[in-house]
A and B are shown apart, each in its own frame.
Chain A
Amino acid sequence: MRKSTRESNDVRGFVAIGASLGGSDALRVLLSGLPENFPAPVGVVLHRDREGGALLTEYLRKDCPLEVREAEDKTPIAPGIIYIAPANYHLLVEKNHFALSTEAPVNHARPAIDVFFESVAEAFGKYAAGALLTGNSDDGARGLTAIKRYGGMTVVQSPETALASRMPSAALADAEIDRVLPLDEIAPFLAETFTSRK
């Protein structure tokens, strides 16, 4: 039988979220809408100032029923936990843990959404879901394309509900998108998709 590098991966799904301008408020809406029993790990890349520190994690923790923590190098990926990319590092995923990189910014951003989404696509294949929210950037479209190419699912915040519509619009123009949803419907959709496992 063919050896699969994914066999040892207990975590079957992964939700990757990317946001830029207006993202901290949008993320708070999305993350607080996820149910307590959400069964997949969630990784979040938000473009932000490198001095952001732990403030963002604190902010997102409020109202969120799930555990929110900053990802560090080699942090194991566990279901039902929300991991925030640290400022000034690219966030990537390996088979069952996170990895960081200080390589040059991509799309003027570090962390970059494309870098994160592409690694999620490769590690989780058809079990990956990518959601792209508000932003005044072109980051994320390539990443969603990769998630789609490896059989995953793509969701974009409807541009008219986004504080900055450029990022979701760019993704709609360049990538194959499964669902375009208003911000407040993204969490229920992800919950339905990931919790109704038989």
Chain B
Amino acid sequence: MTARDFPMRDGCGSIEKPDSAEVEDLEIRLLLEGVFQRYGYDFRDYALSSLKRRTRNFSAQEGVSTISALQEKILRDPELMERYLHALSVNVTSMFRDPGFYRAFREKVAPFLRTYPSTRIWHAGCSSGEEVYSMAILLMEEGLHEKTRIYATDFDEKTLQQAKTGVYPLQAMADHEKNYIESGGKRSLPDYYVARYDHVMFAERLRENIVWAQHNLVTDGSFNEFHAIVCRNVMIYFNSALQARVHKLFHESLARFGILALGEKETIHGSPVAACYGTVDEYEKIYKRKQ
């Protein structure tokens, strides 16, 4: 038997034609085009596989059976669009996610940041904020907090509002604490928050140097010059063309010798600006702009 001869079920009513995947791909492209033209949100260069999953889950949740049917409703209903937007934004994160990254940042990047009188860090795609507060805690413990401003941005306003409050469920804190300790944390996580009933709220002194702002990596440009840009597990949802554009944006937005930190399984190799960077920590994907 050859690969071409896999058992085919043509003519059997209960089996979908293999090209139904292609029809759905077409439907999703039409939806994204419609969303862009109607609302200005541009998801056309997102990685299709995971976008399709989230769209399909959203359709099921909204009781719509096809993506074309979803399109019809979204174009006429801005509130549905807002829910779709929120569904497309992946907000699964935790404090000190990948503790090894924070350890490397503490050991290899903090000493470099200390050489500046004041520093700006851009946390792009900050989601619900856990990783931003993690960075604020790290900076505080490294004596950098006073002179650093963190610009935390996300395209989803709803998520950003939630991040701004600094309020999180208490039950998640045990896992966060474990990560914090593994990341080389010098104190104890509860030093940084107050617990009330089943929630915690992060201390005001952590939040005072964080600027929260809506920014869309797909459509918005550079807005400052930074000494470090942290963008972890955000670009995995983009296709290669969009990744290349965002890499250019980051390159333009970094000061010379500025730091670029990506997610553990992302890589700068293959991006058009790869040659402009040197490596600080290859395993943790921390790079430094050379030119």
A43 on the B face (CB < 8 A): no
Q: Do the beta carbons of B1 and A192 come within 8 Å of each other?
A: yes
On chain A, the residues within 8 Å of B3 by CB distance are 12-13, 40, 127, 193-194, 197
Interface residues of A in 137-159 (CB under 8 A from B): 148-153
Instruction: List A contacts of B20 (CB < 8 A).
Output: 150
Does B7 sit at the interface, judged by CB under 8 A? yes
By the criterion CB–CB under 8 Å, are A101 and B50 in contact? yes
B266 to chain A, nearest CB (A): 5
List CB contacts (< 8 Å) of A53-105 with chain B.
70-74, 86, 89-90, 92-94, 97, 99-104
Q: Known: A73-B265, A100-B236. Contact between A5 and B50, CB under 8 A?
A: no
Interface assignment of B173: CB less than 8 Å from any CB of chain A: no
Interface centre among A40, A74, A127, A193 (most CB of B within 10 A): A74
Asked whether any CB of chain A lies closer than 8 Å to the CB of B49, the reply is: yes
A198–B52 Cα distance when bound, in Å, is: 35
Contact B267 A126 (CB under 8 A): no
Report Cα–Cα, A148/B48, bound state, in Å: 21
Say whether A101 contacts B1, CB under 8 Å: no
* Given A73-B265, A153-B6: A196 in contact with B1 (beta carbons within 8 A): yes
Which residues of chain A come closer than 8 Å to B53, judged between CB atoms?
A: 92, 101, 103, 115, 118-119
Q: Bound complex: CA of A94 vs CA of B239, how far in Å?
A: 10
Is the beta-carbon distance between B1 and A104 smaller than 8 angstroms?
no
Closest to B26 in A: A5
Complex alpha-carbon distance, A93 and B1, angstroms: 25
Q: Chain B: interface secondary structure?
A: loop
* Residues of B contacting A153 in the complex (Cβ-Cβ under 8 angstroms): 6-7
Establish whether residues A149 and B265, one from each chain, have CB atoms under 8 Å apart when the complex forms: no
Contacting residues of chain A (154-198) with chain B, CB-CB under 8 angstroms:
178, 192-194, 196-198
Q: Is A125 an interface residue (CB 8 A)?
A: yes
Kindly state whether residue B270 has any CB partner on chain A within 8 Å.
Answer: yes
Q: Do B90 and A101 touch (CB < 8 A)? A: yes
Interface residues of A in 90-138 (CB under 8 A from B): 90, 92-94, 97, 99-104, 115, 118-119, 121-123, 125-127, 129
A151 touches B9 (CB 8 A): yes
**Category for how many chain B residues contact A:** 35 or more
* B243 on the A face (CB < 8 A): yes
B1-44 with Cβ < 8 A to chain A? 1-4, 6-9, 15-16, 18-22, 24-25
Contact A123-B7, Cβ < 8 Å, known A100-B236, A100-B265, A104-B92: no
A125 touches B90 (CB 8 A): no
Chain B residues within an 8 Å CB radius of A100 = 233, 236, 265
Identify 28 residue pairs between A and B in the complex whose beta-carbon atoms are under 8 Å apart, listed by A's number. Answer: A12-B3, A73-B235, A73-B265, A73-B267, A86-B264, A86-B265, A92-B47, A92-B49, A93-B49, A101-B236, A102-B233, A103-B92, A104-B92, A115-B53, A118-B53, A119-B53, A122-B24, A123-B21, A123-B49, A126-B6, A129-B6, A149-B15, A150-B18, A151-B7, A151-B9, A153-B7, A194-B3, A197-B3
**Residue positions of B touching A, CB distance < 8 A:** 1-4, 6-9, 15-16, 18-22, 24-25, 47-50, 52-54, 90, 92-93, 233, 235-237, 239-240, 243, 263-267, 270
**10 A-B pairs with least C-beta separation:** A92-B49, A125-B18, A122-B21, A101-B50, A151-B18, A13-B3, A72-B265, A73-B236, A99-B47, A197-B2
With A101-B53, A101-B90, A125-B21 known, 8 other A-B pairs at CB within 8 A are A72-B266, A86-B265, A92-B49, A94-B49, A121-B21, A125-B19, A127-B6, A151-B7
Residues on A facing B (Cβ under 8 Å): 4-6, 12-13, 40, 70-74, 86, 89-90, 92-94, 97, 99-104, 115, 118-119, 121-123, 125-127, 129, 148-153, 178, 192-194, 196-198
